[in-house]
Amino acid sequence: MTDCLRYAPMIGAREGELAPDEARALAAHLAGCPACRAREAAVRETDGLVAEALLARASRRDFGPFVDGVMDRIAARRARSPLDRMLRWVGGHRRSAGLAAAVPVLAALALVVYVRTDRPARELALFELDTVGNVSIVLRTEDGPLVLLGDGEPEDS
Amino acid sequence: MEADDLALVSRATAGDDEAFRALVVRYQRKVYAVALGIVKDPDLAWDVAQEAFVRVHGHLAEFKGESAFSTWVFRIATHLAIDAVRRERTSRKDDVDELRDEDLSGAGEGILATPLGNDPQANLLRRELLGKIQEALDTLPEKHRTILVLREVEGLSYEDLAERLGIHKGTVMSRLFHARKKMQAALREYAEIAPGTGGDAAEGEE
C-alpha cells in the first residue's frame, strides 16, 4: 500500500509529464500491482468525459446573445468619461472620501485663531471647534482663560 | 480560411470590433464550459465568461503573443470563476490534498465499460451519462472541480496546472487523484443502477 500511495497519483500522467525515472518506476509498479492497473483503467475510462459533458451542455445553450452582451459591456465602459469614473469612485468611497475631506477643514478650524475684541489688547479670543462641530470662544485674560458660552456670558473655564 | 488569433488580436487592438467579435465567437463556448465547470451556476458562468472577454478587450494592448490567445482568455476566466466561487463558498474540512491509505480503497474497478459498450441504446445512455457526469462534477469541492476542468477542458499539463493554481506539481497530482476518485465514486453509483449494467462491470478487469 505504501508504494501505491506514491504511484497512484502518477496514474493519468501524459507523455513527458513525469521525469524519466518516475515513469520507469511507475511502469514497474503497475506491472506488479493489479490494484493500480485497475486505477489506470478507471482513469482511461473516464478520461475526457468531463470536457465532453461540459461542452455538450454549453452547446445546448443559445450563444446568439453572448457576443452582443460582451460588446454592450465594452461599449458601456467606453462610454464612461473620466469624470463619470471619478464620480463613481467617489460614490463608492463616499464615507471615506467625506472623512478625508473633513480632515484638513477640522485641522484648519482647530488652529488657534486670534481675533481682536473690544476688550483690552491683552485679552485675546480663541475659537475652538470640537469634533462634533460645537464652537466655543475662549478669552485669554490676565486672570486666566474664560470660556464664552452661547449667550456670550463669560464663565470660568 | 479563418484568420489566426494573432491577426485578429492585432486588428482588435487597432480598434476593429469585428475582429474582436470573431475572437469571442471562436472561444465563447469553451470559456463558458470552463466557467460552468467551476461555478456550476449557468447564469453566473455566462456572466463570468462575458466578463472574461471584457477584461481581455480592456488589456488587448498588453497581449504580446508570448502564449496562445486562448490560454490568456482561459486564465482570466479561470481566475474570475474561482473568485466568484470563493466569495460564496464555505470551506470543508475533508477537502485535503494529501493521500492516505484509506484514499486508495475501493477505487479502480471498471466503471463505465458496460454503459459505453455495444448496447444499442448507447447514444441515449451516453447522453444520460454526460448528465450524470455534470451532476457528479457539481458535487465536488471547488478545488477538485477546478483542477478537473482545467485538466480536461483546457488540457493543461501538470506544470501549467501548478503555475495556474499556485501549487506544487505533487499537489497537482494528488489533487487530481482525489478529484477523479470522487468522480469515479459518483459514476460507479450510476453504473450500478443503469439498466443492464448490474454489478458486474468490474468483472473482467484485472
3-state SS, one letter per residue, for B75-126: HHHHHHHHHHHHHHCCCCCCCCCCCCHHHHCCCCCCCCCCCCCCCCCHHHHH
pLDDT tens digit sequence for B132-179? 888 899 989 999 999 999 999 999 999 999 999 999 999 999 999 999
Grid cell in block for residue A94:
463616499
Per the CB < 8 A criterion, the answer to whether B70 and B134 are in contact is no
* Distance of residue A132 Cα from the nearest chain B Cα, in angstroms: 38
Helix, strand, coil % in chain A, rounded to nearest 5: 55, 15, 30
Residue type, B139: T
C-alpha to C-alpha distance for A69 and A127, rounded to whole angstroms: 59
pLDDT of residue B78: 95
pLDDT in tens, A66-75: 999 999 999 9
Angle at B82 between CA B154 and CA B164, to 5 degrees: 50
**Average pLDDT of each block of 10 consecutive residues along chain A (157 residues)?**
87 94 96 94 90 93 96 88 66 63 69 51 55 57 58 42
Higher pLDDT, B206 or B50: B50
CA distance A89 to chain B (A): 18
Q: What is the ipTM of this complex?
A: 0.76
User: What pLDDT score does A84 carry?
Assistant: 65
Model pLDDT, residue A140: 61
For residue A63, CA distances in Å to B29, B33, B49, B170, B206 come to 8, 12, 12, 38, 45
Please give the pLDDT value at position B121. Answer: 65
Q: Do the chains contact at B57 and A17, CB–CB below 8 Å?
A: no
CB contact under 8 A, B32 and A61: yes
Q: Residue A91 is placed in which grid cell?
A: 460614490
Confidence of residue B92 (pLDDT cuts 50, 70, 90): very low
CA–CA gap between residue B153 and residue B146 (Å, rounded): 10
**What pLDDT was estimated at residue B126?**
78
- Between the alpha carbon of residue A24 and those of residues A40, A42, A104, B99, the distances in Å are 15, 21, 71, 21
Question: Which one has a higher pLDDT value, B205 or B6?
Answer: B6
Say how far apart CA A156 and CA A106 lie, in whole Å: 26
Split at pLDDT 50, 70, 90, the class of B203 is: very low
- The pLDDT confidence band at residue B205, using thresholds 50, 70 and 90, is very low
* B160-192 exposure pattern, b = at least 16 Cβ within 10 A, e = fewer: bbbebbebeeebbbbbbbbbbbbbbebbbebbe
Least confident of A90-99, B90-99, B125-134, B186-195: B90-99
Would you state the pLDDT for residue B5?
A: 92
| Residue B25 sits at the chain A interface (C-beta within 8 Å) | yes
Task: Compute the distance between CA of residue A30 and CA of residue B68 in angstroms, rounded to an integer.
Answer: 36
**Per-window interface: A 68-87 vs B, CB < 8 A:** 69-71, 73-74, 77
Indicate if the pLDDT at residue B193 is higher than 80.
no
Beta carbons of B157 and B45 less than 8 angstroms apart: no
Return the SS3 of A138.
strand
Whether residue A50 and residue B149 make contact (CB cut-off 8 A), yes or no, is yes
| Cell 504511484, residue located | A7
Question: Is the model more confident about B32 or about A137?
Answer: B32
b/e per residue, B77-101, with b = 16+ CB within 10 A? bbebbbebbeeeeeeeeeeebebee
B89 has a pLDDT exceeding 50? yes
For residue B15, what pLDDT band results from cuts at 50, 70 and 90? very high
Contact yes or no for A66/B28 (Cβ under 8 A): yes
What whole-number percentage of chain B has pLDDT above 70? Answer: 74
